[in-house]
Amino acid sequence: MFDIRYPADLPITARREEIIAAIRDHQVVILAGETGSGKTTQLPKMCLEAAGDNLRGQIGCTQPRRVAAMSVSKRVAEELNVPWGREVGCKMRFSDDTSRDTRIKFMTDGILLAEIQSDPMLRAYSILILDEAHERSLNIDFLLGYLRGLLQQRPDLKLVVTSATIDTEAFSKHFGDAPIIEVSGRMFPVEIRYAPLPTDDEIDMIEAAVSAVEDALIESSEGDVLVFMPTERDIRETRDLLEGRLGSTYEVLALFGRMASGDQQRIFSPGRKRRVVVATNVAETSITIPRIRYVIDTGLARISRYNPRTRTKRLPVETVSQSSANQRAGRAGRVQDGICIRLLAQDDYMKRERFTMPEIQRANLAEVILRMKAFKLGEIESFPFINPPTQAAIRSGYELLHELGALDETHEMSPLGKELAQLPVDPTLGRMLLQARKEKALPEMLVIAAGLSIPDPRERPDDDKERAAAAHKAWWCPDSDFISLLRIWQAVPQTDGKGGMNALRKFCKSNYLSFMRMREWRDVWKQLSDTLADDGQALSESKGSNDDAIHRSILSGQLGHIALREERNLYKAGGNRQVTLFPGSNLYERRDKNKPGKPGQDKSKQPPWIVAGEIVHTSQLFARSVAKINPDWIAELGGHLCERRYSEPHYSVKTGRVLVTERVFLHGLEVKRQHRSRACAAPAPGT
């Protein structure tokens, strides 16, 4: 049916017979090999050959990234000489280019997970290829675990797990000592040079990368350059700067996860000009760019990480592991001897983690549990993870989900939980956004949520404190730090493009704001808005700045962060924890030295009840980013958590009935006390 050929110059081609035999003889095969050895493009064809006429279902191949799934599926269709979208297709969120004739189906791993819900036995497939397993994202770990069980129920299903040459033993062990085939690529030696940055400034990083590129292009008269940058924005800026400096003699290209497919195709078809490709870690192992001789590595990447202080997930820029750095360097040695310039010191490299930690160990277990429930993967406690999470982490995951009202007492998903699982953000943030949508304050909440995920953008230089304070005063809001954040955002000139950046820079300077953090804030806000907009949410519905609506939204996601005032700057949070207001908060009160209050007299304007966006444990427990809340909201939004105690039945002469005192507690804090007649003691339903 197919005209199957293998490019002679790919290392995997030489091992073809052996690989096909292994797939025929074993249910699971682990295939390890250097990036570019031909795993992704050639394996589906070998699967076709291994199955021969017995191929009943499809060959499904999962990819961690959309850009890789798309480009590789096109390549395979081309190699098999069939139109893309028919025998060879590609499916991802919001686009399905497969047909009834599709034999080889590329997809993102999220798609295969989603298919488990409607086809738990995955009957559509005869062979599955789990590509890039070394990335150990949550999706990959879910699939590895689920498939282990499924393979026992479906002896006819075959699985090939492919990975860079990292930790292949773990995969083999996980699948009952499955055979490992290692395809050693023809790798040329790569010289590593270290060129640490003068400071930790991001601007310097781009500047340094650009001059390293210029040096490389001069040093050698042939070969292309690949630059690794942590974020999309860094990539764009580096590209713009390079284009300005290099002129039209060279071609400068950007490569990142979410980009137009026309631009993607250009990556694989270099013209006559020498090229500089500026990429995120998508070029680390997912996508092989031809002709690279030089690699410039910043050693940084965006890595998702759960932040227990805000109970949300962040995507901070972090240093990559040694194994990542080595993969990156390897990109330089595919065609001939290569050179990798690391923009860091050698001992910095030596001090780094050997391997990147699997996502499950950095993740919010609440999110993991919710996703496992949504995908119908079974219970987290008994799920065969390669690295199972700790009991303590699982427990706090459940606690958070109960607090958010996503699960009921029997650990089943509530309707709200189902809604949360649909949102592509972590559950705490998701809960706030759902509430904000109801309260018609979503645009404001998006701004605040993004603002909370970056460090405070206000700068307070020691030698210029008064003027900074005076500048910041414009955004001051006596009972809410969140509203201050919103006001900063609203004050910023919102123009885009280069001129916009200059305007922002100027604005920041005269208002004592960090330009970098403001930019980061915009980036996170954009990411968040884009993810939600992808889901077809109306993001613009706002009643205008309604502070109560905003604070109720925050409270809905942070019911565990409420606190009751005890004395100046000192609050009691749930679980009997003493928290201190952070001195940078608007609500913090400095002791007035001139007018000492009389003992027993408290002139404070501090609100009795607050919610904190963040609780930080440093020298003591600090509540950061706080706002005054109305305690009635707590019982309203946290009804499912409240415990009600009744006491002191007494006869009311006025009403002629027996009344009891109802006291409502949340995490041990008394949030409400009222007299009720005995009959109506049913708890109010939560919202």
Q: Which does residue 126 touch among Mg ion, ligand CDP, none (CB within 5 to 8 A, set by kind)?
A: none
Tokens of 49: 């050959």
Q: Which of 194, 196, 214, 217 is nearest to 205 (CA)?
A: 196
> Looking at beta carbons only, is 62 or 356 nearer to Mg ion?
62
Label residues 416-453 b or e (16+ Cβ within 10 Å = b): bbeebbebebbbbbbbbbbbbbebebbbbbbbbbbbbb
Q: Which does residue 72 touch among Mg ion, ligand CDP, none (CB within 5 to 8 A, set by kind)?
A: ligand CDP
> Looking at beta carbons only, is 40 or 326 nearer to Mg ion?
40
Min CB(254)–ligand CDP separation in Å:
17
The site string for Mg ion over 367-406 (x = CB under 5 A, - otherwise) reads ----------------------------------------
The site string for Mg ion over 26-55 (x = CB under 5 A, - otherwise) reads -------------xx---------------
Task: For residue 199, count other CB atoms closer than 10 A to its CB.
Answer: 10
Question: Which part of the chain contacts ligand CDP (CB under 6 A), choosing from 70-78, 133-141, 512-520, 602-610?
Answer: 70-78
> Looking at beta carbons only, is 39 or 158 nearer to Mg ion?
39
| Per CB under 6 A, 453 contacts ligand CDP | no
Q: Which helix (H) or strand (E) holds 29?
A: strand 28-33
Min CB(47)–Mg ion separation in Å:
15
Q: Which does residue 457 touch among Mg ion, ligand CDP, none (CB within 5 to 8 A, set by kind)?
A: none
Q: Which does residue 288 touch among Mg ion, ligand CDP, none (CB within 5 to 8 A, set by kind)?
A: ligand CDP
Q: Which helix (H) or strand (E) holds 210?
A: helix 202-219
**Cβ-closest position to Mg ion:** 40
> Looking at beta carbons only, is 78 or 602 nearer to Mg ion?
78
Q: Which of 167, 204, 192 is nearest to 182 (CA)?
A: 167
Q: Total number of residues binding Mg ion (CB under 5 A)?
A: 2
For strands 28-33 and 180-183, give the pairing.
parallel
Min CB(322)–ligand CDP separation in Å:
20
Min CB(227)–ligand CDP separation in Å:
18
Question: Which part of the chain contacts ligand CDP (CB under 6 A), choosing from 40-48, 96-104, 384-392, 613-621?
Answer: 40-48
Give how far Cα 127 sits from Cα of 65, 147, 453, 511, Å: 20, 12, 42, 60
Q: Do 663 and 642 form a contact (C-beta atoms < 8 A)?
A: no
SS in 3 state form for 441-503?
EHHHHHHHHHHHCCCCCECCCHHHHHHHHHHHHHHCCCCEHHHHHHHHHHHCCCCCHHHHHHH
Radius of gyration of the chain (CA): 29
| Per CB under 6 A, 63 contacts ligand CDP | no
Min CB(40)–Mg ion separation in Å:
3
> Looking at beta carbons only, is 15 or 565 nearer to ligand CDP?
15
Please state, in angstroms and rounded to a whole number, the distance separating the CA atoms of residues 428 and 413. 15
Q: Which does residue 71 touch among ligand CDP, Mg ion, none (CB within 5 to 8 A, set by kind)?
A: ligand CDP
Which of 71, 281, 326, 585 binds ligand CDP (CB under 6 A)? It is 71
In Å, the largest CA–CA distance within the chain is 99
Q: What's the DSSP call for residue 543?
A: -
3-class state of residue 93 by DSSP: coil
Which of 23, 36, 178, 485 binds ligand CDP (CB under 6 A)? It is 36
> Looking at beta carbons only, is 126 or 288 nearer to ligand CDP?
288
> Looking at beta carbons only, is 268 or 646 nearer to ligand CDP?
268
| Per CB under 6 A, 38 contacts ligand CDP | yes
Q: Which does residue 646 touch among Mg ion, ligand CDP, none (CB within 5 to 8 A, set by kind)?
A: none
Count of residues making up the chain: 687
Residue list 194-233, contact with ligand CDP (CB under 6 A): none
Min CB(477)–Mg ion separation in Å:
51
Residue list 6-35, contact with ligand CDP (CB under 6 A): 10, 33, 35
The DSSP result for 283-341, as a single string, is GTTT-PPTTEEEEEE--EEE--EEETTTTEEE--EEEPPHHHHHHHHHGGGSSSSEEEE
Q: Which does residue 75 touch among ligand CDP, Mg ion, none (CB within 5 to 8 A, set by kind)?
A: ligand CDP
| Per CB under 6 A, 45 contacts ligand CDP | no
Q: Which does residue 41 touch among Mg ion, ligand CDP, none (CB within 5 to 8 A, set by kind)?
A: ligand CDP
Tokens of 600: 């027993």
> Looking at beta carbons only, is 7 or 583 nearer to ligand CDP?
7
Please state, in angstroms and rounded to a whole number, the distance separating the CA atoms of residues 88 and 74. 8
Q: Total number of residues binding ligand CDP (CB under 6 A)?
A: 16
| Per CB under 6 A, 37 contacts ligand CDP | yes
Min CB(300)–Mg ion separation in Å:
23
> Looking at beta carbons only, is 255 or 448 nearer to Mg ion?
255
Give how far Cα 456 sits from Cα of 230, 379, 453, 624, Å: 21, 39, 9, 10
Please state, in angstroms and rounded to a whole number, the distance separating the CA atoms of residues 132 and 163. 5
Residue list 286-345, contact with ligand CDP (CB under 6 A): 288, 290
Q: Which of 368, 398, 395 is nearest to 383 (CA)?
A: 368
Q: What's the DSSP call for residue 35?
A: T
> Under the rule (CB under 5 A), what is the footprint of Mg ion?
39-40
> Under the rule (CB under 6 A), what is the footprint of ligand CDP?
10, 33, 35-42, 71-72, 75, 268, 288, 290
